[in-house]
Amino acid sequence: MIIIGYVLMFAPTFRDLATTVWSRDEQGHGPIILAVVLWLAYRKHEELLALSARPALVSGSLCLLLGLCMFVLGRSQAVLLLEVGALIPISAALLLLIKGTAAVRLLWFPLFFMLFMVPLPATLVVAVTTPLKSAVSAVASSLLYQLGYPVGRSGVILTVGPYQLLVADACAGLNSMFTLEALGLLYMNIMNYKSAARNVLMAVMIIPISFAANIVRVCILVLVTYHFGDEAGQGFVHGFAGMVLFMVALTLILAFDRGLLSASRRFKGLLK
C-alpha cells in the first residue's frame, strides 16, 4: 500500500515532466536518470529485504515532513525544483520508517543519484551556460580554422561557408555537463572504487572531459553542415551528434581511469 501511495503521489509530477521539461533536449536525460535510479535500487532489493526492521521514527518523520512540505509548495507554486526534489527526502523517509538507517546506507547512491533528475533553476542554467557556449564556440571555431575550414564566429553563432549555426544550450550548456557528471559518477559506482582520492579526481576531471566532448559535438555539426548542407546538420545527424557527445565523454573517462590505474600501480595502490 505504501508503494502504491508513493507512485500515485508522484504520477502527476512525472506526467508533467514527460510533457514539458523532459521533452526538450536540455533536460532529455531525466527519463534515463529515473531508469538508472530504479535499476540501482533493484540491484540492492535482496539486501534491502534481508535487513531487519529497525525503524528510525524521529529522523524518518522529519524527512517525511520536509519532503511533504517541499512537494506541496512545489506542486502548488509550479516549482519543479522543489516538487521533483521532494522525491529524495520522501524516499529516504520511507526507508527510515520501514527499515531504518541501514536501508539508507544501503541505498545512499540511488538516493544521491536522484539529484541529477531534478530540473536545474533557469537562472543558474543561463548564468553558467552563456560563458560555456562562448568558450565551446571559440575553441571549436579556432580548431576548425586551423584545419583549413572557412569558419568565423560572432558570439555563439558560427559561420562556415554560406551557412550559419547557432550553438544552442543543448550543445554546450550546463545541462549536458550535468548529465555527463552523472554518467561519470555512475561509472565510479559500478566500478566500486574505494579510494576517495581516485573518486574525487574522476569527478573533477569529468568537467573538462564534458567540455572537450561538447567541442567535438559542435565540430561534427559544423563539418556535416559544411559538407552536406544545412538540412543534414539539423536532421538526423544533429541527434546522432548528441550520441557522439556521450561516446566521446565515456571514452575519455575510460582513458583517464586507465591512467589512474597506471598511476596507482606506480604509487603502490594509492588510487585503487
Please check whether residue 179 lies inside any domain of the structure.
yes
Determine the structural domain holding residue 84 and report its residue range: 2-117
For 153, which DSSP code? E
Phi, psi of 20 (to 5 degrees): -125, -90
Catalytic residue among 63, 153, 171, 198: 171
Burial class of residue 255, CB neighbours in 10 A (0-12, 13-18, 19+): exposed
Number of compact structural domains in the chain: 2
The answer on 141 and 100 residing in a single domain is no
Helices and strands (H and E) in the chain: how many: 14, 3
Catalytic residue among 63, 153, 198, 217: 217
pLDDT on residue 235 = 62
Please check whether residue 236 lies inside any domain of the structure.
yes
Please check whether residue 247 lies inside any domain of the structure.
yes
Is there a contact between 92 and 63 (Cβ–Cβ < 8 Å)?
A: yes
Q: Rounded CA gap, 164 and 226, in Å?
A: 10
Q: Rounded CA gap, 184 and 188, in Å?
A: 6
Q: Which of 117, 149, 165 is the last residue of a domain?
A: 117
pLDDT along the chain (272 residues), means of 10: 84 91 77 91 93 93 96 93 95 94 95 90 76 88 91 87 76 71 85 80 86 86 82 62 76 86 67 54
* pTM for this entry: 0.79
pLDDT on residue 57 = 93
24 is known as an active-site residue: no
171 is known as an active-site residue: yes
Please check whether residue 155 lies inside any domain of the structure.
yes
Q: Rounded CA gap, 206 and 202, in Å?
A: 6
The answer on 104 and 48 residing in a single domain is yes
Q: Which of 98, 117, 136 is the last residue of a domain?
A: 117
